[in-house]
Amino acid sequence: MAIHARLAHVGVYALDKPKLEHFYSNVLGLMVTDSGTARSGMSLTFMSGAAGAHHQLVLVDGRPDTAGFNPIQQISFLVDSLTDLKEVHRRAIAEGCSEMRVVTHGNAWSCYFKDPEGNTVEAYLDTPWHVPQPHGAAFDIAAPEADIVAWTEAHCRETPGFMPIDEYQAKMAQRLAQ
């Protein structure tokens, strides 16, 4: 029997939990759903941006000083539209994020930036296309949405291995069933 696990939430050790709570609330619209102290003595803050998910992000105090190395590769958040992605980009800049990277992976439009503790955050939106990964091409997030969609589709169609997402998902379903 195949098990198909889905990522449900991420726990992150924090140096300054209130600062991260503020950041994730203001940039991504998450809200604190609960907070308290665990039996271990660690202070936890649960945050979510979805009514059906008690928490998508858990902030835990006690992050050690990693002296230049961050063990978190990235924390990714799915948004509903290009309008939302543009708004997250705007809010991240307003919060002082400077390491902005806006790319299409062919299968997604993504905006990467650092949170106040140096964790890489990705806000992204799926596209209706697939191209082999890894793939990344910068696009102008300030362009009109129709232009972003048209440019991305043309770019994807020029990429070897391109296919509509429904075709790719059908092939994946067959592979997973085996």
Average pLDDT of the segment spanning 81-85: 95
Predicted local confidence at residue 52, as pLDDT: 80
Give the residues across from 121 on adjacent strands. 75, 113
Strand blocks (E) in the chain: 10-14, 31-37, 43-48, 57-61, 75-78, 101-104, 108-114, 120-126, 129-130, 137-138, 163-164
Helix axes 145-157, 82-94, angle to 10 degrees: 110
72 versus 138: which is more confidently predicted?
Answer: 138
73 versus 39: which is more confidently predicted?
Answer: 39
Residue 178 pLDDT class (50, 70, 90 cuts) = confident
Predicted local confidence at residue 3, as pLDDT: 52
Give the angle 35-21-76 at the CA atoms, nearest 5°. 105
pLDDT higher than threshold 60 for residue 173? yes
Q: How far is 122 from 107, CA to CA, in rounded Å?
A: 14
Residue 4 pLDDT class (50, 70, 90 cuts) = low
Q: In the chain, what percentage of residues exceed pLDDT 70?
A: 92
Q: Average model confidence (pLDDT) for the chain?
A: 88
Residue 15 pLDDT class (50, 70, 90 cuts) = confident
Q: How far is 26 from 48, CA to CA, in rounded Å?
A: 13
96 versus 69: which is more confidently predicted?
Answer: 96
What domains, with CATH codes, occur in the chain?
1-62 (3.10.180.10), 73-178 (3.30.720.110)
176 versus 15: which is more confidently predicted?
Answer: 15
- State the burial class of residue 148 (Cβ atoms within 10 Å of its Cβ: 0-12, 13-18, 19+): buried
pTM for the structure as a whole: 0.81
List pLDDT tens digits, range 121-154: 899 999 999 999 989 999 999 999 999 999 999 9
pLDDT higher than threshold 70 for residue 7? no
How many helices and strands (H and E) does the chain possess? 4, 11
- Taken as a whole, the chain contains a residue count of 178
Give the angle 47-50-53 at the CA atoms, nearest 5°. 70
Task: Give the least confident one: 49-63, 106-120, 126-140, 144-158.
Answer: 49-63
